[in-house]
Each structure stands twice: as C-alpha cells, then as structure tokens.
Structure 1
Amino acid sequence: MLKRTKSIIALSVICATPTLFAQEAGRIQAGQFDLIPSFTSSMAYVDNVANARDNQSKIYSWRTTLSPELIAATQVNGNPVQIGYRLERGVYFSSSNDDYTDHFVEASGDFELNSRHRVSALAQYEDGHEDRGTGFSIGSGLDISTPDTYKSSNLSAEYTYGAVTSDGLITLKTRRQSLDYDRSEDAYLIRDRVKTMVGGEFGYQIGAATSAVIDITQTYVRYDEQLDFVTRDSDETRVLVGVVWESTAATTGFAKVGYKEKEFEDQSRGTFYGTDWEVGIDWQPVSYSTFRISTSADTFETNGEGDFIRGQNYSVRWNHDWLERLSTSFSVTQQDDEYVFNEIDIDNRDDELINYSASLSYQARRWLKFSTYYQYTDRDSNRETIGYDKSEIGVTAEVTL
C-alpha cells in the first residue's frame, strides 16, 4: 500500500463529481470502487540541504512539501485489490535548485483460491529523486547543481500452499527490481541495473506459538551498461534459518540467520562469503506502548565506490499513546556500510550513518492530524570527503475525508 499521505487535490476532484457519494468515513463509493483520498503537507527547516561535508559551507533553507494521494480499492470474487497514486512536491525557499516532484504508483492484490492456495501480487513504479549528497552523490552534494532523478520499478508475487491451521506452510516468491538514472553520463549509466530474485520459504510449527522457518533465495544482478568498465554482474545465494514466535500476548518476533554468497561474473572481483541475519522483536508491555528492536545484515549494490556494499542495520523505536489523541515516537537507527574493494592496494571504505528522530502527534479531528518532528543525521567515514551532519525540524498536517 502507498504511504498514507492525505489528498486535498483528490478530495476536490471527487467532491465535484456528482455520481459519487460518501460510503463511510474516509471513503467515497464510485461504482465497484471505494476511493480513499488523502493529503499531507509539511513545513520544515533544514540546516544542510545538499548534505555538504563537514569542511564545506552549508545551505540553510525552509522547505515545504505537498503530497496528495488517491487509492481505489475493490474486491474481485471477495479478494481485495487496490491501485493508488501519490505525488510529492518539495519546494526549498532558499535553494530552488533542490526543488523536486516525485510520482508513485502502486497496485496490489491478495487472492485466496481456496483454503490451501493463496496468491499475492504487488507492482510499484517510482519517478523519484535523490537529495544532493545522498545515494550516488554522497560526499559531493555541492558538486552537482540539482538532485539526481531516476525511474525505478518493483514487481513481486508470492504463492502460499497450506491451510491456516496447518503445521507447515510453503511460500514460493519472485521479485524483479529495476533502477534507471535519468542522466546520461558514463558514471550514471553503469549504475542502471535489474535485480531478479526467486526463492522459497518453508515454515513448520514447533510449538503453540512458535514456528521454525528456512528461507532460500537466488538473486541475479544485471547491469544495463558496462562501457569500458569491468562488469559488476553477479549471482547471489542466500540461505536463512530461524524461528517466528508470539511467546506472550505482549511479545512477537522473528530471528533468522544464515549464509550469503555473492559471485561476480568477472572473476577478478572475487566471490564474497558471509553471514546474513534478520531479527525483529515487538514488545508491548501495555496496550498503549510498543518497543520495536530490529537488526539485519546483507549485501547491496554500490552507489559509487567499490565492488559492493556490506551493510549492517540496527534500530530501536518506541511508540507511546499518552492520551487518546496524543502520541509520541522516538527512534535511533544505525547503518554500518563497508564499501568492499577486491583490489589489494585499495582499503575498504567504512561509513557509519546514525539517525535520531522524535515526533509528537495530535489527532485534532477524525479527519485531521498534526505532528511536529525533529531529525538529526550524522555520517562518519574513514574517507575525509564523505562525512556530514544534518538537522531537520518541522510540522506536518494530514487530512482525510
């Protein structure tokens, strides 16, 4: 489902259409479809728009964002299907070169063929951007005049065999992801790629609220252009084993650990062998307070240096409802990225990215929510040209029907 942004534009269009009528709060019925319009607007102060390095001059600016969304939901033979569109427009008052307009389209469906056979599908398309100093331009945000833009897509499907009450479940899955930068320079062309994944997961109940799982995937990474550079095409094999549990009414979680191999088509880049993991725990000591702890390790395609990125992520989040309409959220996330070079005479690049965020939300009406937030980001690296810090403070309004 698309991010739940709120849509005044969609609301205006819908209310002007006489054939539509309100079905329930937040929805409008149009024939066989329920239309769900929404809109989000924010105003924020950013103290490092281009993510300039620590020794460079920073750009300070207020920024406003407008993000309407419209979702059309229906059912096909009792199975939920929906399609949605979201637009996000960002305007910087003191740095118009960083203005952006992003488009997001998503369609999904869940189909229960019978008690033992289920299929789900998801399609996503994004016409988006990378803020200067992020993604491909980390460490060189001031060296480019405007944000990098790209087109990306994600197509995925899952088939599950087994009744809900069965001790065992088998899930077969596939996914295709593509990334294409809009720029035509060689440095960008060699980053355009397609990742195709196929795999399966088997789960077997070993306790009243615990299941053992084994997750096996094979991923094929193929780059569109290599030009005069040595190919980064590779094949990845990942095998994870672990458990999923709900030990008490207050605790749920999963933990999987296993083996990862990344074999490059170009043998001079070598083959990576390592340990991957995925862990997530939700603890709800009381109904109005939730703690979420997660960590993972995996390999990623490089956005600049090296043959690939070896990444590890750690995060802690606390959500708390103080009153019926008043809530807070606090989180700390750390991302450790090692840019791996197989060349003997080049040291690996090590980045550490830490993000702190806090928000306070007030549900003024059923259809209106206000939030204020603060976010601080700090990136350190063993490369002097990479590190930066950035603060952002702002307010957000969300509107629904």
Structure 2
Amino acid sequence: MSNIYESAEATLGLCNSSCLTKVELRVACRGISDRDALSKPDPCVVLKMQSHGQWFEVDRTEVIRSSINPVFSKVFLVDFYFEEVQRLRYELHDISSAHNGLRDTDFLGAMECTLGQIVSQRKLSKALLKQGNTTSKSSITVTSEELSGNDDYVELSFSARKLDDKVTMCLCVCVCVCFGAQIPPDFKVSHDFAVNFDEDNPECPGIQGVVEAYQGCLPKIQLYGPTNIAPIIQKVASSASEEMHTMEAMEYFILLILTDGVITDMADTREAIVHASHLPMSVIIVGVGNADFSDMQMLDGDDGILRSPKGEPVLRDIVQFVPFKDFKHASPAALAKSVLAEVPNQVVDYYNAKGIHPKCLSDYDESTRPFSP
C-alpha cells in the first residue's frame, strides 16, 4: 500500500498544477469504542482524497493490534497545492486478524477536513463521525510537518501574517477607482489615490475592509479616464524599494490591479515595470469586460522579454495578466489558481537572486499587517 499515493495521482489529477511543497501527515486516535467485549479493536486508518465529488483512496496506515489509543507509525506523504482546496477523509476501520482488506471490516467512524486546515493548524483533532453523522466519543488527531528539504518553498499569506520559514506578503488591491477618477474636494483627476481617502493611513483591515472602502468611495468620486497604471505601480514600487534597502526584504509586495479598460500610458508602464523587476514586488492584472487587452499580454512577458522604451529588459518576469472573461463560467478556485500561478516562482526568483533565506518563527512576532487599497 506504500505506493498507493503515486498510483492515485493520475486519478485525482494532482499532476495538473504546480506543487508548492510536500507535507508529512501523522495520525493518532483516542478512545476507540470496544465493539467486541472480549477483545480490543485492531484499528487501521484509510486516507482518502476527494476529486470531482468522489472519494479515492490515497494510502492507509498499518494495522495496530488490540489498541483503543493507537499512534500509527505510518507517515502519509502528500503534495500540498496552495491554490487547491484539497478535501481529505480519514476513515477508521477495525480489521480483524483474519482479514487485511476493508470489505469485511467494522467501520468505526470518519473525519473530514481540508489539507489546508491541517497545514495551517499543524495539529488538528476532531471527533469521529459514525454512520448517519452521529458523533462518537472517539477522536482522531492529524499532525503535519512541511519537509524542510525544499528551500524554494514560500507560502503566500494574503492576510500578511508572519509565518515561520515564510516571508510576509503585502497585498495592494487597485480597482478602476484608485487609478482613474476625479476625487473630492476639488475633483482633480488622480491615478493613485487611497480609496479610503486617507493618504497617511491607506490600509484596510482584510478583504472585507477593502470592499467596504470601495463601496464608501464610489458614490463620492467621478470615474475618469484615461486608464493610467504607471503611477500606482511606481507608488507600490516606492514602498518595495524602501523594504529592499533594509537588506532583509522580508516583505514582498503583490500589486493586484482590476481594470475594465486598456491602459493608455504603455510607455510609462513598461518603464515602471522594468524598474519594479529589481524589487521585492509582483504585479497581477485582471482585465474585466470585453475590451481589447492585447497590450496586457505584452506586459505579461510570457511571449518575450519586456523592455522599457529605452530598450532596458526586465530583470525578471513580475507581471501576470488574466482576462476575467475566460473564467465567467469557471469556479472561483480556477480563477484564483490562474491569478496566482506565477507568483511563487517570482517570489523565489527574487530571494534566490538576493541570496536571502527565510527566517524561522523565533525571528518574527505574531503581528498582522492589513491590506492596502
């Protein structure tokens, strides 16, 4: 059974997206009910993963004889994909000495969760559910450990929470408002104003804070073209430049731009992107609507090296363009996967080039950093 996970990859479609890191999962159970008064159970845990609404077996533990509190030595090695919701199911079975298969076993309960929950909590304990979803007195505990052999691993934390062996992400969200509008009180045109109108403190608490600031801003301004995005790229680049000069650059800036129009300052935008390619920064552009976004593909750089008007090439590819219309009938997860597809490599490329390695948990505090509109 040790190679079941390998054979399940094709069925589950696990090879269709870039793996972020490998995770070791260990399982233990407590208080397993004695179904047979004359003997204790012989427990075994089966790990399943959901794909297209169906559960497929990934692997299973060894059978521990006569135990109501088993700690299994079997280690599940799974691939963790940051852009996927990987649903797991742990089934506990009582396998008698006469049978090693599952067909004739006693089902003792199951626990469902996501791999992301286990990775984020590191240790997840839940009660087992029996047939009919009735809660049993038995519990199962799963602990996770990310393999340290992958030095290129960086987890994206868009709450910007500082995690061990990770770098901090600062997400700056820009919609058509904050780079193309006439703003009060004099209604001059601005391409890089704060949606909350507080230039000294433009940050908002979380995604909901960004949404609320946008809703409060929209009735107070007048949308105005043209669509110039070079100013907002330069503004975020200024913050990224200050961080780079700390010689640690443990904050990496991701500028997310939502726009419904073709940009009109292409030369300045190319210049700004070339400059930003030297900084701890990435730019994600989501084109909304049916406008001609062909120029955006050039900024993406997938078809060639982007250059400034003076001919200077980007140091590294930092731009990802995604047309929203391609995902109108797709799941939100598919859109998120495409939007974030290039960010991990962009982050790793920057820190590798600078020779900067992730710090450990003791080097961080538990503070959080809000989102910046």
Question: Normalising to structure 1: TM-score of the pair?
Answer: 0.25
Question: Normalising to structure 2: TM-score of the pair?
Answer: 0.26
Q: Whose relative contact order is higher, 1 or 2, with alpha carbons under 8 Å and at least 6 apart?
A: 2
Higher helix share: 2
Higher strand share: 1
Higher-Rg structure is 2
